[in-house]
Copies of this chain bind each other. A is one copy, B any other.
Amino acid sequence: MAKEIKIGLLGSGTVGTGVVRVLRENAEDISKKVGAELSIKKVLVRDTSKKRAYLEDVQLTDDAQDIIADPEIDIVVELLGGLHPAFEYMLAAMQNGKHVVTANKDVVAQLGHELFDAAEQHGVEFKFEASVGGGIPIITPLKECLTGNRITEIMGIVNGTTNYMLTRMTEDGSDYDSVLKEAQAKGYAEANPAADVEGLDAARKAAILASISFNSRIALEQVSVEGITNIEPADINYANELGYVIKLLAVAKDYGEKGVNVRVHPVFLPTSHPLAAVKDVFNAIFLRGNAIGDAMFYGRGAGSLPTASAVVADIIGEARNIVSKVPAVIGCTCYNHRKFCPLEETESSYYVRLHVDDEPGVLGAIASAFGESGVSLKSVIQTRKVGDHAEIVAVTHIVQHKHLQEAADILQKLPVVDSIRSIIRVEED
Q: Are B299 and A295 in contact (CB under 8 A)?
A: yes
Copies of this chain, tallied across the complex: 2
Q: Is A123 in contact with chain B by the CB < 8 A criterion? A: no
Q: Is A360 in contact with chain B by the CB < 8 A criterion? A: no
State the CA gap A326–B299 with chains docked (Å).
32
Instruction: Name the residue on B nearest A305 (C-beta).
Output: B291
Interface pick from A135-143, A156-164, A203-211, A365-373: A135-143
Q: Are B335 and A329 in contact (CB under 8 A)?
A: no
State the CA gap A21–B10 with chains docked (Å).
46
A325 to chain B, nearest CB (A): 9
For A141, list chain B residues within 8 Å (CB). 137, 140-141, 145
Q: Is A298 in contact with chain B by the CB < 8 A criterion? A: yes
Q: Are B291 and A148 in contact (CB under 8 A)?
A: no
Q: Is A414 in contact with chain B by the CB < 8 A criterion? A: no
Q: Can you sample 27 A-B contacts with CB below 8 Å?
A: A22-B148, A26-B290, A135-B291, A135-B295, A137-B141, A140-B141, A144-B313, A144-B317, A145-B310, A147-B313, A148-B311, A148-B312, A291-B305, A291-B309, A292-B299, A292-B306, A293-B299, A293-B306, A294-B299, A295-B297, A295-B298, A295-B299, A296-B297, A297-B298, A320-B330, A321-B329, A326-B327
Chain A positions near chain B (C-beta within 8 angstroms)? 18, 22-23, 25-26, 29-30, 32-33, 129, 135-137, 140-141, 144-150, 215, 274, 277, 289-300, 303, 305-306, 308-313, 315-317, 320-321, 324, 326-327, 329-330, 333, 335-336
